[in-house]
Structure 1
Amino acid sequence: MITAAEKKAQDTPQILLLSVIVSLFWFCQYVYIPYQTVYLSGIGSAPTLIGVVTGAYGFTQLILRLPLGVAADRRGRHRLFIMLGIFSAGTASLFRIFLPNESGFFLGNLFSGFASATWISFMILFFSHFQESSLQKASGLIVGANNLGIFLGFSMGTLLYRHFGMHLLCVLSAAAALPALFLSLFVTEPSHERQAPPVRDLLKICTDRRLILFSLLALIQQGVQISTSMSFTAQAAQARGADSTQIGLCSVIYIVAAVLSSYFAASKASQKLGPSFWIPVILACLTLYCLLIPNLPNIEWFYPTQILSGLSTGILFSFCTSEAMKNIPSKTKSTAMGFYQSVYAAGMTALPVVTGALTSTFGLRSAFYSLAGLTAVGLDGAIVYYCNRRGTDFGRRSGTEDTPK
C-alpha cells in the first residue's frame, strides 16, 4: 500500500516539471508587456486604442475559459490543453514580429488570451498532485511559478528593450515556447476512469455563491493589475520623465514583490492569519496603490509603491483562487476554475478599455481614482463576507454547546 508521504514523493518530479513549464509559459506571455503601452504610444496609438489592444487579451479568455473548463472536466485530461496553450502563446508573438503595429498586437493579444484560457488545465493538473488540505499551498506555489516566469521576462525586457527594441522581446517570447512545448511531452496525468458528467450537471457549480464572490474579487484584482502595473502605470511614470530602463525597473520591482509574496502565501506563516485577514488587507493596499500612482512627484517614488501592486498579485490572487475552489467537488473542478477565470477575464477585458477611455477624456488621475473606487467596493464586500461568516461560525459553535447531550 502506498502511503501519503510516498505518493507525495512520487509527485515531486511532476510538480517540479510543471513549475518549469509554467515559468517558461508566462515568460513567453509577458516578456514584452512592460513596454507594450510605451511602444504603442510611441508609434502614435491613442490611449483608447491602447486600451482596446490590451483588453483583447482578456476578451478571448472571457469567451473560452468556461467552455475549456467544461471540456477538460468531460475529457478528464489536461496535457493536450496545456500543449495547445503553449503553442498559441508562441504563435501570438509571431503576429507581433511580422505585423509590428496595432493590428499585429491586437491579433497577438487575442492568441495570447487563448493561451491564457488554457491556464485552467495548468492549475487543475498541478492541484491534482496535492492533497485537498494543501490547496492553499498548491495555489501559492503555482502562482509563484507563474510570477517567477513573469519576473524573468520583465528583467530580460528591462535589460534589452532600450538597445534592441520590441522586436527582440517578441522573438524571445516566441522562442521560449519551444522548450516549454518539448517539456510538456513528459507531463503525466493521474490515471482514472470515469463517465463524463453531463454538461448541465457541470454548469450547476457556477451558481455556487462562494465561487461567485471570490471570482468577482479576482475580477477586481486582475482587472486593476492589467490596467495599472501592466499598462497605464508605465504611462504615468513616463509623464514623470522616466526612461525605458526606469519603467522596466518599476515592472521588475512589482514582479519581485509578486514572486516573494506568492511563495509567502504558500507558507504556514501566511495560513496562520488566513484569508479573512489577508484578502481585506491586500485589497486595502491595492486601493492605496491606485490613489498614489497619479500623485507621485517623481519616478523615485514609483519604485517602493510598486510593492503594493505586487502583493495583490502574489497574496490576494492566490488566496482568492484557493477560497474560490474550496469545497468544489473534484469532478467539477475544471468547470469551476473555468467559471472563476472567465469572470476575472471580464475584468481584464473591460477595465483596460474603460481606463483608456477615462484617460483620454478626463486624464490619468480620474482613471486611477475610478479603479481605486472599484477596489474599495471589493474591500467592503470581503469585510462583510468574513464578518457574516464569523458570526455564523460563532452561532453554530454556540448552538452546539447549548445542545443537550
Structure 2
Amino acid sequence: MNQNVKPGQSARLLFYVTALFWCAQYSYTQYVNPELQRMGANALFMGLVAGAYGLTQMLLRIPLGIIADRIGRQKPFVVLGSLLSAMACAGFLLMYSPYGFLISRGLAGVGSASWVSFTVLYSAYFPHHEGPKRISHLNAANMSGRLVGFFLVLFIIPLLGVKSAFTFSLAAALLAFFLSITLKEPRHVHQGLRMKDIVLVARDKYLIACSIVGILTQVVAFNTYYGFTVNIAKRLGAQDTMLSWLNIAMLIPTILMNLLLTKTLLSRFSARVLVCAGFVTGAVYCVLVPMTQNMTQLLVLQILAGSSSTLTFGVLIGQSVRDIKQELRAVAMGFYQAVYGIGMTLGPVLMGVLIDSQGLNAAFFAVAGFALISGFLSYYLLNIPPKNQMDLKEEAYE
C-alpha cells in the first residue's frame, strides 16, 4: 500500500461515491417495467430490457479488469463508470420509448461494468486478508445508496411525475462523477499483466465455483425481486410511490443483514452454508409472492428478498477473490462479475417468455424450483478449502 494515501480518508470517500453511484443506477428501476407496460411492451421485451443491463456487463467486465491491471490503476474506471451512469439516465429522458429504454439500460450496464474497479480499489486500502470482509462492507454502501434514493424518490414522484426519478438519478450520477475525480489510490508495484496471470486467475477453482453459483444467484434475483415482482405489485393495484416502498421494504433488511454478515455470520458459518440458506430463502419468497392478496403481504415478503440477496450475492462478491493475490483481483473480480452476467442477461429473457406463455404465477413457481436446486448445488460447489498465503506466493512465481 502507498503510504502517501490515507486509507481512512480515501476509503470513506469511495464509500460515498459508491453509494451515489448505485443510488443513480437503481432509483428509477422500479418504474422501468410499469412504464414499458404503459407503452405497450410485452413481458418478453421487458426481459430484453433487463437482459441488456446484464449483457453489456458480461461483455465488458473481463476486458476492463485486464486493462485496469495492465495500467495498475482503478480510479479511471470508477470515474468513467459514474459518467456512463449519468449518460444512461440522460438517455432515458431523451429517448422515452421502449427502444430508448433498451439502449439506455444497456448503457447503464456499461457503467455497472466498472463495479469491479470500485471493489478492487476499496479492498486495496486494507490488508489482503481483510479483502472479503471489506468488499462486503462496500456492498453495504451499495445498498445504502439505493435506499436513500428510493426514499427521496417517494417525495419527488407525487410532485413531478415518474420521469423525475430519472432526473434524480442523473443528478446523483453527476455528483458521484465529480467526487470520484478527487479520489486518491494506492499503487501496487506492477510490471505488466502476463498471459499466465490471466490463466492463473481463470483456473482458480474457488473463483470458478463462485462464478457458477453467481449465475444462479442473478437468475433468481433479476427474475423476481430485481425484475418482475413489480409486475405482481401492479397487478395488486400498486401506485407509483408504492413501487418505491416495495424496494425500501427489501433494502432495509438487506442492509441490516449485510451488517450482520460482516460482524457475525461470516465468522460463524461457512460461505456455502450461508449461500445455500440464501437460495432456500429465495425459493420460499418465489412461492409466496404470487399468492399475495394485497400490498401489505407483498411488502412483508420483501424481507425474505433482502435476506436472500445478502446471503447469496453479498457473500459471493467477497468470497470470489478469497484466494486471489491483490494485484490480480481486478481480473478475478471482472471474471466473476462477467460470468454472473450470464444470469442477469438470460434469466429475465427466459422469465419473459415464461410469463407470456404460462402466466406470472407459473413463472414465479418455476423460479422457486430453480432456487431450491441452486441451493443444493451451491453447497456442493463451494466446498473448497482456502489457500494459505504460502500457496499464493508460490503461484506468483510459477
When the two structures are superposed, what TM-score results if normalisation uses the length of structure 1? Answer: 0.90
Unmatched runs of 5 consecutive residues or more in structure 2? 388-398
Aligned residue number for residue 52 of structure 1: 48
Asked whether 1:158 is paired with 2:180, we answer no
Cα contact 1:86–1:177 (8 A) shared by 2: yes
Task: Determine helix, strand or coil for the equivalent of 2:378.
Answer: helix
Alpha-carbon distance between aligned partners in 2 of 1:315 and 1:226, rounded to the nearest angstrom: 16
Kindly indicate whether residue 182 of structure 2 is the aligned counterpart of residue 186 of structure 1: yes
- Is the 1:136–1:265 contact (alpha carbons within 8 Å) kept by the matching residues of 2? no
Report the Cα distance in structure 1 between the residues aligned to 2:158 and 2:349, rounded to whole angstroms: 27
Structure 1 segments unaligned to the other structure (5+ residues)? 394-405
- Which residue number in structure 2 is paired with residue 16 of structure 1? 12
1:347 maps to amino acid = G
Once the 2 structures are TM-superposed, how far is the Cα of residue 111 of structure 1 from its aligned partner?
0.9
Counterpart for residue 144 of structure 2: 148
Matched, 1:43 2:39: yes
1:203 and 1:335 in contact (8 A); partners too:
no
Structure with bigger gyration radius:
1
Query: Which is richer in helix?
Result: 1
Please list the CA deviations of residues 95-115 of structure 1 after superposition, one character each: whole Å capped at 9, or x if unmatched. Answer: 111111111111111110100
Structure 1 residue 269 displacement after superposition: 5.0
Write the distance in 2 (CA, Å) between the matches of 1:205 and 1:373: 32
Aligned pairs, number: 387
- Residue matched to 1:197: 193
| Closer, same or farther: CA 87–278 of 1 in aligned 2, 3 Å | same
1:110 paired residue number: 106
1:387-402 equivalent positions in 2, closer than 5 A = none
Aligned partner of residue 154 in structure 1, secondary structure: helix
- 1:174 corresponds to 2:148: no
Displacement of 1:370 in angstroms is 2.1
Following the alignment from structure 2 to structure 1, what is the Cα–Cα distance between the partners of residues 28 and 98?
A: 14
Structure 2 equivalent of residue 402 of structure 1: none
The one-character-per-residue Cα deviations of 1:128-174 (angstroms, maximum 9, x if unpaired) are: 11212222320221100001111122222333334422321111111
The aligned counterpart of 2:211 is 215
* SS class of match (1:130): coil
Partner of 1:400: none
Summarize the alignment of residues 351-390 of structure 1 with structure 2, pairs less than 5 Å apart: 351-385=347-381
Instruction: Verify the 8 A CA contact 1:355 1:367 in the aligned structure 2.
Output: yes
| Aligned match of 2:391 | none
- CA 1:281 to 1:8, structure 2 compared with 1: closer, same or farther past 3 Å? farther
Which residue of 2 is the match for residue 246 of structure 1?
242
Going from structure 1 to structure 2, the CA distance change for 1:219 and 1:269 (only over 3 Å counts) comes to closer
The CA distance in 1 between the partners of 2:196 and 2:3, in whole Å, is 34
- How far has the Cα of 1:270 moved from its partner? 4.3
Matches of 2:81 and 2:217, distance apart in 1? 23
Partner of 2:220: 224
Matches of 2:188 and 2:342, distance apart in 1:
33
Matching residue of 1:72: 68
Q: CA deviation at 1:193?
A: 3.0
**Alignment check: 8 A CA contact 1:155 1:252 kept:** yes
Offset of 1:199 from its aligned partner? 3.3
Q: 1:307 to 1:363 in 2, by over 3 A?
A: same
Deviating more after overlay: 275-284 vs 119-128: 275-284
Which one-letter code corresponds to 2:169 in the other structure? S
Matched, 1:271 2:267: yes
Q: Is the 8 A contact 2:61 2:114 kept in 1?
A: yes
Instruction: Mark the CA change 1:8 to 1:299 in structure 2 (over 3 Å): closer, same or farther.
Output: farther
Moved over 3 A (4+): 6-10
Q: Which residue of 2 aligns with 1:259?
A: 255
* TM-score, length-scaled by structure 2: 0.92
